[in-house]
Chain A
Amino acid sequence: MFRFIAADLRRHWIGVLAVTLILALAVALGVVVTLQERALRLGSARAAAAFDLVVGAPGSETQLILSAVFLQPAPLPLMPGSVLAGLLADPRVAWAAPVGFGDFVDDFPIVGTTQALVNGLGRLTEGRASARLGEAVVGAAVPKAMGAVFHPMHGQIQGPAEVHGGISYQIVGRLAPTGTPWDRAVLVPIEAVWRVHGQEAEAAGHGEEPRPRSLSDAHQRHRDFAPDLDRPIRPEAFADPSAPGLPAIVVKPRTIADAYKLRRDYRGEHTLAVFPGEVLTRLYATLGDARQVVALIAVGAQGLVGAAILLVVVVHVLQRRRQIGALRAFGAPRLVVFAIVWLEVLALLGAGLLAGAGLGYLAARLVSRTLEGASGIALPVVFAPADAGVLALVFAVGALAATLPALLAYRQSPAAALRG
């Protein structure tokens, strides 16, 4: 029987191939949706793993997390410099580090921070930590050589940008890959960022500088501004309550209980404390809704493809009713005729499902790689045990539908074979 099935499938190989391919594509559609959504969840959760608690100025929690954890550029409101000083002095805090941004080099965000965050992100694979204000440590995915010197740019290449021509950083270290957007970050001492943007001067109240007379004058001054970065980092500067304002602070609490207490204490009029997890959970809910819509569309497409293929199989069985009748006329039992048609459809279905899972996996990998290149977030494409259940369910539904043409063949009168 199996030899007959194999010979029959081989003889109709073009049709078999076409049907299998269509099935595979329909299945791949659903697989990609599932895998990609899972990749986004896993990737974003892993990217946020190093960030227990983020403190910022009151505003959008989501924007705070997107900016501080995922380095999405957005103008965040600043909180007073005293907040960092307070956190650094807090016994419940293992470490706290500022996150200040705004500048870019090429397409890579420059993040002003401290050694604590560099340590929190992982170890260095090359070079050493920054010791002077003009020294930068780069993420694993930043294609710049050790010792390279660059000028920061205000804004990104695509948008309106302005090069800080008078300022230059030198790369002295490189971080191990983390699979997070921080792989694409250029870390510089926060003090340097303050200086570049003249905040320290303002905070210190240097009022003698004359106001720019015009907008172009102001731009010119911005371009020519050349603060002195050839100074060692002074850790005590962060702990200074009169330090300049900060958009975000990453906090590592000592215990889980401390984390909840800190979150409560820092949710107030002047600050906002957020667990990245709670924001991600909300984002996942939205993502889940979107996935559900897309998944429904995919299921609809699969249903239509299934119905079309069922029709093709039924027409095929009807066209071959004389041949099927002949099988029975020669003595093949009805159940065998049923089994032949059923197993042939199951073979197509099985091959289509497996190929679809493979195609879907490859497509998800491709999408993930493209997104990884753009965001720096590692998006792991993995199958979960539940996926096998879904595929088995699709197979079961298909097997049930396949009984229709099989029954048609089963009921085929053997006398039809004799009629001329």
Chain B
Amino acid sequence: MPGLAIRDLEVRFPGLEQPALAIPALDLPAGAHVAVTGPSGCGKTTLLNILTGLERARHGAVSWQGTDLSALSEGARDRWRAAHVGLVMQEFHLFPGLSAVENVLLPQRLSHLRLGGETKAEAARLLARVGIGNPRQPVETLSRGQMQRVAVARALLARPGILVADEPTASLDAEAGAAVADLLLELAGETGATLIIATHDPRLTGRLERVLRLDGGRLAPGAERA
């Protein structure tokens, strides 16, 4: 499982004096479960974008198990992300018109010419694991909690070493949010994946082994809880 090493990371946006993100050094062991918190605009999303290779770090190095994302091209980062990162987002990004299982399979369908029976069986297993009884149900007819659980299943299909969730519970009611949080923690534990969750939800941060508090793009010293 990949561990993370950040050195001299600095992200600036045009027109802003202060860097949006400045992390001199950060190391995470493989399999760590980490929360990223902080007020809005503190750089949480920017950090997630950099960690998942969605955006390129122009200054500094972001290495997962020796792979420096800042040195990869956009296409290479896409391929790396497809192979190593499972993403869960606040707004689910499920595609209406497709069933639950088709949504889980969609990223693999779009990047492979043919899907093996194994992948399909894994999709069915994951859907059962997250508690979706009918994999053929069109996603637009699911409840929001169910939708996020389908999204969790989708994130795990390629057996990623890194699971990244951006406010996964923010748009859910307390009960559904708790169910999704349980799933993320359990599944990351089962697969040994490194779990990084950006969240405001104290019930969620309280359950993670480490909390990174961002403020103005910098890690708040001492706010880290081991």
Contact = CB atoms under 8 A, between A and B. Distances in A.
Interface in A313-340: 322-323, 326-334, 336, 340
Contact of A418 (B48, B97, B108): B48
B14 to A, nearest CB: 15
A8 interface: yes
B interface bracket (residues with beta carbon within 8 Å of A):
20 to 34
A1 B74 CA distance: 22
Nearest to A411: B74
Contacts of A327: 107, 110
A331 B95 contact: no
Nearest to A332: B110
B197 interface: no
A1 to B, nearest CB: 6
B179 interface: no
Contact of B93 (A7, A323, A420): A323
A10 interface: yes
B215 interface: no
A11 interface: yes
Interface string A349-360: 000000000000
Contact of A336 (B49, B74, B111): B111
Contacts of B48: 418
Given A4-B106, A415-B55, A334 B74 contact: yes
B93 A334 contact: no
Nearest to B94: A326
A49 B88 CA distance: 76
Interface in B67-84: 74-75, 78-79, 81-83
B34 to A, nearest CB: 17
Interface in A192-217: none
Interface SS of B by simple majority? helix
A329 B77 CA distance: 10
Interface residues of A, number: 27
A330 B106 contact: yes
A329 B54 contact: yes
Interface in B24-79: 45, 48-49, 52, 54-55, 74-75, 78-79
B87 interface: yes
B98 interface: yes
Contacts of A415: 49, 54-55
21 contacts: A1-B109, A4-B98, A4-B110, A7-B95, A7-B98, A10-B97, A326-B89, A330-B106, A331-B83, A331-B108, A331-B158, A332-B82, A332-B106, A332-B110, A414-B78, A415-B54, A418-B48, A418-B49, A418-B54, A418-B166, A419-B45
Interface of A: 1, 3-4, 7-8, 10-11, 322-323, 326-334, 336, 340, 413-415, 417-420
- Pick the 5 closest A-B CB pairs, nearest first: A331-B82, A326-B93, A7-B97, A332-B110, A11-B97
Given A7-B97, A328-B78, A331-B158, 20 more contacts: A1-B109, A3-B109, A4-B95, A4-B110, A11-B96, A330-B82, A330-B87, A331-B78, A331-B107, A331-B108, A331-B110, A331-B111, A332-B107, A333-B78, A334-B74, A336-B111, A413-B55, A414-B54, A415-B55, A418-B48
